[in-house]
């Protein structure tokens, strides 16, 4: 749908977020509560159209994909009576006359819902809408199947390649491993390589059909939860556990001393240079991860638990979060 069509149909706002897999899934999940209240399809601008496919309450604004924060796009939307609303999971504070992001008070999904104006009990479980055909794809082993990654976009929360390889080396005789993630991720020896195959929806199909996902904090962790695949997460101390924990997962944290400046809100990980060799993720003991995998696989037939939380509204009405973060529209 283009801007003119959106105006013709009476849309007066469009929602968007950072161009990240997890942020997009969380925004889609939060908007479900708006749809349930208003009973009207919701206009969204996104880089990741395929993540929103098969979602019957979202309408995608096609004109909004090249550069979400481009001033020309912003001005065109305003001229046509459509207000861009930027939703982020982080909060912001004014510190010495400088605006900087900080971790929110609630679970990351609850924070998104709160900024959308939701004020009700929600499920701490994101949404992803696979078709019945997609659900039939992605199973490759008769024995327990584990999806695993070997890298990530941000080093502070990405499972190190060496750790992923050790996990596979230790457990490959017992379980079938499928590698998902980006085609540029280092390939793990001894796995079925499905990096980048079938796009993001193909990855979601694999996770749906897997008994476990092993990785770090990030988009695939949220995707796995959305398709009810339990996880073992190498959980960096750069982010608070309460912010991104799903109770069906096992989070493995460093037992050895490591830096916690980012997790304690002293600095923000994707805006700061690490001077501690990413000890927040590197000091996780691979033996603890392997033990957690065994526990999850042994309990794989149990139902996925769902946590519920009441969300207080702190609705945003425009792109003020973006302006606070970057200063102005380019």
What integer pLDDT is reported at residue 68 of this predicted model?
Answer: 58
Q: Would strands 231-234 and 212-216 be described as parallel, antiparallel, or unpaired?
A: parallel
Say if residue 119 is in the same domain as residue 137: no
Residues 6+ apart with CB under 8 A from 4: 80
What integer pLDDT is reported at residue 271 of this predicted model?
Answer: 67
Say if residue 272 is in the same domain as residue 143: yes
Please count the structural domains in the chain: 2
| Residue 322 resides in a domain | yes
Say if residue 114 is in the same domain as residue 147: no
Say if residue 145 is in the same domain as residue 267: yes
Say if residue 101 is in the same domain as residue 165: no
| Residue 86 resides in a domain | yes
| Residue 30 resides in a domain | yes
Say if residue 169 is in the same domain as residue 273: yes
Say if residue 95 is in the same domain as residue 242: no
What integer pLDDT is reported at residue 327 of this predicted model?
Answer: 58
| Residue 304 resides in a domain | no
pTM for the whole structure = 0.91
What count of other Cβ atoms lies within 10 Å of the Cβ of residue 66?
9
Say if residue 239 is in the same domain as residue 196: yes
Say if residue 144 is in the same domain as residue 232: yes
Interatomic CA distance for residues 40 and 54, integer angstroms: 16
What integer pLDDT is reported at residue 107 of this predicted model?
Answer: 93
Interatomic CA distance for residues 226 and 220, integer angstroms: 9
Show the domain range for 189: 132-298
Residue with tokens 């603890």: 288
| Residue 19 resides in a domain | yes
| Residue 63 resides in a domain | yes
| Residue 208 resides in a domain | yes
Say if residue 107 is in the same domain as residue 167: no
Q: What is the DSSP letter of 6?
A: H
CATH number of the domain that 274 lies in?
3.40.50.2000
**In which band, very low, low, confident or very high, does the pLDDT at 297 lie, cut at 50, 70 and 90?**
very high
| Residue 305 resides in a domain | no
Say if residue 177 is in the same domain as residue 224: yes
Residues 6+ apart with CB under 8 A from 44: 14, 15, 16, 27, 28, 31, 52, 58, 59, 60, 61
pLDDT of residue 292 exceeding 70, the answer is yes
**In which band, very low, low, confident or very high, does the pLDDT at 124 lie, cut at 50, 70 and 90?**
very high
Q: Model confidence over 128-179: pLDDT tens digits?
A: 999 999 999 999 999 999 999 998 767 777 888 999 999 999 999 999 999 9
Q: Residue range 105-114: average pLDDT?
A: 92
Radius of gyration of the chain, Cα coordinates, nearest whole angstrom:
20
Q: What is the dihedral of CA 69, 75, 78, 82, to 10 degrees?
A: -40
Q: Model confidence over 33-81: pLDDT tens digits?
A: 999 999 999 999 998 999 999 999 999 998 766 555 677 788 888 899 9
Say if residue 116 is in the same domain as residue 138: no
């Amino acid at each position: 749908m283009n801007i003119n069509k959106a105006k013709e149909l009476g849309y007066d706002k469009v929602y968007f977020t950072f161009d990240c897999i997890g942020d997009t899934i969380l925004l889609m999940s939060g908007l479900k509560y708006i749809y349930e209240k208003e009973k009207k399809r919701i206009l969204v601008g996104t880089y990741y159209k395929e993540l929103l496919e098969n979602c019957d309450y979202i309408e995608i604004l096609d004109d909004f994909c090249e550069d979400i924060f481009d001033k020309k796009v912003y001005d065109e939307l305003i001229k046509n009576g459509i207000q861009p609303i930027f939703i982020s999971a982080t909060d912001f504070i004014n510190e010495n006359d400088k605006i900087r992001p900080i971790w929110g008070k609630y679970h990351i999904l609850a924070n998104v819902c709160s900024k959308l104006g939701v004020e009700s009990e929600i499920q701490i479980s994101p949404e992803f809408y696979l078709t019945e055909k997609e659900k039939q794809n992605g199973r490759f082993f008769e024995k327990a199947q584990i999806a695993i990654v070997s890298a990530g976009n941000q080093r502070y929360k990405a499972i190190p390649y060496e750790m992923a390889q050790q996990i596979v080396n230790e457990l490959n005789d017992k379980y079938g491993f499928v590698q998902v993630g980006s085609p540029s991720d280092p390939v793990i020896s001894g796995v079925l390589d499905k990096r980048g195959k079938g796009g993001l929806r193909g990855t979601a199909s694999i996770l749906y059909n897997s008994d476990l996902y092993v990785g770090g904090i990030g988009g695939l962790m949220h995707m796995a939860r959305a398709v009810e695949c339990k996880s073992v997460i190498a959980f960096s101390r750069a982010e608070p556990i309460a912010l991104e924990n799903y109770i069906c997962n096992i989070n493995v944290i460093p037992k050895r001393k490591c830096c916690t400046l980012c997790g304690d809100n002293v600095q923000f990980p994707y805006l700061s240079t690490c001077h501690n060799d990413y000890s927040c993720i590197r000091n996780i003991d691979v033996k603890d991860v392997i033990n957690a995998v065994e526990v999850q696989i042994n309990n794989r037939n149990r139902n996925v638990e769902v946590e519920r939380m009441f969300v207080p509204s702190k609705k945003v009405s425009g792109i003020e979060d973006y302006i606070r973060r970057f200063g102005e529209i380019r």
